[in-house]
A and B are shown apart, each in its own frame.
Chain A
Amino acid sequence: AQSVTQLDSQVPVFEEAPVELRCNYSSSVSVYLFWYVQYPNQGLQLLLKYLSGSTLVKGINGFEAEFNKSQTSFHLRKPSVHISDTAEYFCAVSENGGATNKLIFGTGTLLAVQP
């Protein structure tokens, strides 16, 4: 069975500082990996995804993530955050080629950007 671990429930950071949100997964098969962002009182918006190919994936709003198969990680990074990046971030995994494409989510990380 697949699982996703986001160890940090909350990450406080000052504006213009770099940030890394950690995501580790467990799976016995190859996977697709996703990061979603949820702004207050809104739905989930796709930030970026890894399906295959280059392990460094660039997404919207200046975010990027690196797939590391040996460490089963997919950490999200941004070199300089803004107040507007304050949101909850969810890492998710689905089975590569699975017929139903079910997503397994982590518990989320709240990024709190302070001025």
Chain B
Amino acid sequence: DAGITQSPRHKVTETGTPVTLRCHQTENHRYMYWYRQDPGHGLRLIHYSYGVKDTDKGEVSDGYSVSRSKTEDFLLTLESATSSQTSVYFCAIKETSGVDTQYFGPGTRLTVL
């Protein structure tokens, strides 16, 4: 257990509304990541962070923004949700010590109607 929580765990929203998902970690890890999981695509990286206020885009970043004002929190925002953003969203952290291993949170299931 890498001490990762995600909130909310489930959300249903309507097209055009803003949505913010939260990832919280308790162990002061530097790297945090947001992925989406869709059938037939596996997991795809949306955005990642390598420190407070340091973020960068992943392969499917269009329509998403992120913020990290504190080490423990990494927020993913859908500025204007669309049905194509219906997905399961996973947050991950990489341990600062050791090598290159990411650990995942429990996920948030988002449905955009």
Question: Which of B12-46 touch A at CB < 8 Å?
Answer: 31, 33, 40-45
B residues within 8 Å of A by Cβ? 31, 33, 40-45, 48, 50, 56, 58, 90, 92, 94, 99-107
Selected from B42, B45, B101, the residue in CB contact (under 8 A) with A49 is: B101
CB distance from B100 to the nearest CB of A (A): 5
Secondary structure of the B contact surface, majority rule = strand
Question: Which of chain A's residues have a CB closer than 8 A to the CB of B99?
Answer: 32, 51
Across-interface contacts of A99 in B (CB, < 8 A): 50
Inter-chain contact count A-B, CB under 8 Å?
54
B42/A43 in contact, CB under 8 A = no
Q: Are A46 and B103 in contact (CB under 8 A)?
A: yes
Number of interface residues of A (CB under 8 A): 26
Verify B42–A102 contact, CB threshold 8 A.
Answer: no
Q: From B45, B90, B94, B100, give the contact of A44 (CB < 8 A).
A: B90
The 23 listed contacts between A and B (C-beta, < 8 Å) are A32-B99, A32-B100, A42-B106, A43-B90, A43-B106, A43-B107, A44-B90, A46-B101, A51-B99, A51-B100, A90-B42, A90-B43, A99-B50, A100-B48, A100-B56, A101-B94, A102-B58, A103-B43, A103-B45, A105-B43, A106-B42, A107-B40, A107-B42
